[in-house]
Amino acid sequence: MLYAVLCYNDESVTSAWSKEEDDRVMRDLTAVQRKYVEAGKLGPVARLLPTTAATTLRHATGETIVIDGPFAETKEQLLGFYLIDCGSLDEALDFARELSSANPSSGSYEIRPLALFKPGELPS
C-alpha cells in the first residue's frame, strides 16, 4: 500500500537553522531514506519552500479569490512529504519514527494511505 508521510513543523524554528544545521538534518534524513530507496520502497520526496512563497486559491459561493501565503492559520506548517510503499501501517509508522529521530526539532508526521490516480486513466 502506498502511504503519504506528511511532515509538519514550526517553520520559524526550521528556517532559523544555520546552513550547517540544515545540512546536518538533511544528511541525517538522507541516511534514513537510503535503506528505503535500496529496498525499492521510497517514491518521490518533496521539501516545500517556505509558506511565504505560497499562493492560495480559495473558492467559495461562486467566487474565486487568490491570496498570498497559506490559508490555514496553524502553529505547524506542511514542510514536505514522502511517498512510500509499505506492507502495513506499522511499517509506515516505523519509517516516520526514523525520520523523527533524525530531526532535532519537535514536529509531527501524518501518515495517510494514498489512492493513486494516473492522469488520462479512468478508474475501472
User: Nearest to residue 33, comparing CAs of 49, 46, 50?
Assistant: 46
pLDDT score, position 51: 87
Q: Over 70: is that where the pLDDT of 71 sits?
A: no
Q: Is 1 helix (H, G, I), strand (E, B) or coil?
A: coil
Q: Over 80: is that where the pLDDT of 72 sits?
A: no
Amino acid letter at 93? L
Cell numbers representing residue 22 in the block: 540544515
Average pLDDT over residues 60-66: 86
State the pLDDT confidence band at 57, using cuts at 50, 70 and 90: confident
pLDDT score, position 52: 86
Average pLDDT over residues 16-20: 94
Determine how many CB atoms are found less than 10 A away from the CB of residue 112: 13
What pTM was estimated for this model as a whole?
0.83
Instruction: State the Cα–Cα distance between residues 77 and 10, nearest whole angstrom.
Output: 6
**Angle (CA) 38 39 40, round 5°:** 90
